[in-house]
Amino acid sequence: MKVAMLGSGSRGNSTLVATDNTRILVDAGFSGRQLALRMRALGVEPESIDAVVLTHEHSDHVHGAGIFARRYGTPVYLTAATREACRDRFRGEEDLRAYEAAQPFAVGDLRVHPFLTVHDAADPVAVTVEGKECGTRVGVATDLGRPTTAIRHSLAGCDFLILESNHDETLLRTGPYPPSVQARIASSHGHLSNHAAAEFARELVHPRLAGILLAHLSVECNRPELAMEVMGKTLANTGWSGWLQAAAQDEPTPLLEIARLREEMGPAQLTLL
Ligand SMILES: [Zn+2]
Ligand SMILES: [Zn+2]
């Protein structure tokens, strides 16, 4: 199973999850052109995408969903409330398919498990995506106000985690946002700070977790090196030493093969936790 983020941050999010037979996008928060450009840069043709799964209606997650669906005939999966909240993105000619949180559904040989999050949107979810054949599970959790019991339960035991590490608390306080926006971001319905993400990741790491990709970093109120440092320090005494990187807003990550990341962890890692 392979995974890549085409980009991540408040100006757009999209994650590619692929097996040999099936490819899906979780969110499509870039223009149709950018989505196509970025996946082609990874050697993936937009025509080959089997589904777009939308997590919530915020523009940085749905921006190109309509045009991508019309251009390539790709089905779009979304909840009824999310569909209502972003109906201006669609013209009626797209293949829109409803799903509900806590009701897993299949796309080819992938199984998508959506679960409710706490975030200031109509019906926000995050997902895990599981390969039916290989059993590999990827968690995609980018807009989390706070980790609830249900979120903890859903993300436990993933083989690869994409986890929001949105802001540095100090940069948020001293940054350019007015107090109302600061309050929204930091609230329990906003976004996880670097420290909150790191504490959450400490709960989630386990010997078979091959990698963590930090996502949705704020351009204004975060730096990749800060997010990585906080995460690295917090995980240091867990014994976990898998792959760790931060996704960028303007360029895709490599297409990461999860089995290969796990091989690179080596046998020492597996005995540590
Ligand atoms: Zn959002
Ligand atoms: Zn977002």
pLDDT of 271: 56
pLDDT of 270: 54
Residues 23-62 have pLDDT tens digits of 999 999 999 999 999 999 999 999 999 999 999 999 999 9
Mean pLDDT (the chain) is 95
Confidence of residue 115 (pLDDT cuts 50, 70, 90): very high
Whether residue 271 lies inside any domain: the answer is: no
pLDDT of 265: 82
**Cα(79)–Cα(84) distance, rounded to whole angstroms?**
9
Judged by its nearest atom, the ligand closest to the C-alpha of residue 56 is 1
Domain count, the chain: 1
* Centroid of ligand 2 to alpha carbon of 10 (angstroms): 6
pLDDT at residue 84 above 90?
Answer: yes
Judged by its nearest atom, the ligand closest to the C-alpha of residue 215 is 2
Q: Count how many Cα atoms sit within 13 Å of the Cα of residue 21 in the half-sphere of its side chain.
A: 10
Residues 150-161 have pLDDT tens digits of 999 999 999 999
Whether residue 19 lies inside any domain: the answer is: yes
* Centroid of ligand 1 to alpha carbon of 185 (angstroms): 10
Domain that holds residue 233: 2-259
Whether residue 244 lies inside any domain: the answer is: yes
Side chain identity at residue 217, one-letter code: L
pLDDT at residue 273 above 60?
Answer: no
Check which CATH number belongs to the domain holding 44 and give it: 3.60.15.10
Whether residue 188 lies inside any domain: the answer is: yes
* Centroid of ligand 1 to alpha carbon of 23 (angstroms): 23
* Centroid of ligand 1 to alpha carbon of 56 (angstroms): 7
DSSP-assigned letter for residue 167: B
Confidence of residue 199 (pLDDT cuts 50, 70, 90): very high
DSSP-assigned letter for residue 240: -
* Centroid of ligand 2 to alpha carbon of 147 (angstroms): 16
Contact 247, 6 (CB under 8 A): no
**Cα(4)–Cα(8) distance, rounded to whole angstroms?**
11
pLDDT of 269: 58
pLDDT of 268: 54
Whether residue 266 lies inside any domain: the answer is: no
* Centroid of ligand 2 to alpha carbon of 63 (angstroms): 11
Whether residue 179 lies inside any domain: the answer is: yes
Whether residue 201 lies inside any domain: the answer is: yes
Judged by its nearest atom, the ligand closest to the C-alpha of residue 125 is 1
* Centroid of ligand 1 to alpha carbon of 182 (angstroms): 14
Whether residue 265 lies inside any domain: the answer is: no
* Centroid of ligand 2 to alpha carbon of 11 (angstroms): 8
* Centroid of ligand 2 to alpha carbon of 9 (angstroms): 7
* Centroid of ligand 2 to alpha carbon of 162 (angstroms): 13
* Centroid of ligand 1 to alpha carbon of 259 (angstroms): 30
* Centroid of ligand 2 to alpha carbon of 61 (angstroms): 6
